[in-house]
Copies of this chain bind each other. A is one copy, B any other.
């Protein structure tokens, strides 16, 4: 018996048709569907865990490392978190139909600029099965059809999860093709997905640099890149040093594996000897490996601080390692950040408004902080609700990609017979 497999194009065509229906669906029906999905996730958790066990067994046989197995693993607790996330999305404002601006032209034409769904959003991700639910829920709420391309290592889990979403869609009398799942099948499939012009309106990769690079090269449809974050904390000469130490520590240690954690600490030379010995000691005590320039190493006290290589300034460690440099001025700090940073999140600690303005104006990044940790760049922390990533590119969305960033706009113009003279 032949297996009937739909092509990427066919899947995208179904998603496109569904997107036209979904764009007109009101908030109530979408929220009801999301709440129902949350129920299904919890009510069917035993089956879901069983599906997940099949992926885990296959993964262990294939020799996936512990970190990948951990990402792949679902538990009752993780399922509850997924359901809670879906309920939270249901509680957010619907961005569709939001009025961005309106005005009347001299000729009497009334112009409205409204938010509308983008259409078909493809999301390409790695092993975490929870992204299937996050992405499906965010797309549904923002009125977009989702084409999800998960990892083949999460095949069984993802198929079950996408099935639950489609059950909830069907129960709500919404088009099931609002959520379509492609199991990841190599680069040729990715290239096919990334060239569906006219069908796929946007691709968002959630994964490593290799995936982004592959997409950048192959894509003819627009791609929105979630971020790498080489973030800095700069301590100005007039900083409250205990605040500075607290912020530097938090930005590095609170959760070192995420993109908004800091990788490099920059310290004005005038406060290097007052700040660094204690700050370095505290970081080292927490288990942070440190590297620094010469002036930093002179202020390391009894802690061993390695020699920072040129590569260190460009590295997103995503772990318990930090580079430290002493700078002569605010301008040098800004120059260092604009040269080595990735435009994600950058912080200054200062008591001067002038220095703060110089920093926030001069640093080219999605988010710049005065006297706060870089760790706040996040859709939840910013009060935007859920996010699907954090953009460091400058077009369309810069910073957290939330529901509103998953919309585009439409000009709606009402007249009474106006023609162009």
Contacts and interface: CB of A to CB of B under 8 A. Distances in A.
A241 to B, nearest CB: 11
A315 interface: no
Contacts of A338: 20
Nearest to A378: B420
**Majority SS at the chain A contact face:** mixed
Contacts of A222: 222, 393-395
A193 to B, nearest CB: 16
A123 to B, nearest CB: 15
Interface residues of A, number: 66
Contacts of A240: 417
A419 B382 contact: no
Task: Give 8 closest A-B pairs by Cβ, nearest first.
Answer: A372-B415, A250-B419, A375-B420, A394-B408, A367-B411, A396-B396, A395-B396, A243-B417
18 contacts: A24-B361, A109-B372, A118-B395, A224-B395, A240-B417, A249-B419, A255-B420, A367-B413, A369-B415, A370-B412, A370-B414, A373-B418, A394-B408, A395-B395, A395-B396, A395-B408, A398-B409, A398-B410
A365 interface: yes
Interface string A196-228: 000001100000000000001100101010000
Contacts of A103: 383
Interface in A12-39: 20, 23-24
Nearest to A408: B394
A381 interface: yes
B419 A372 contact: yes
Contact of A420 (B23, B217, B224, B373): B373
A163 interface: no
A357 B371 CA distance: 49
Contact of A220 (B217, B247, B364, B420): B217
Nearest to A224: B395
A381 B420 CA distance: 9
Nearest to A334: B20
B417 A372 contact: yes
A362 interface: yes
A411 B363 CA distance: 11
A364 B119 contact: yes
A159 interface: no
Contacts of A20: 338, 362, 364
Given A119-B394, A375-B420, 12 more contacts: A20-B338, A23-B364, A118-B395, A222-B222, A224-B395, A249-B419, A368-B410, A368-B412, A370-B413, A370-B414, A376-B420, A394-B408
A241 B193 CA distance: 45
B398 A408 contact: yes
Nearest to A367: B411
B367 A410 contact: yes
Residue from A382, A383, A420 with most neighbouring chain B CB atoms (10 Å): A420
A216 to B, nearest CB: 5
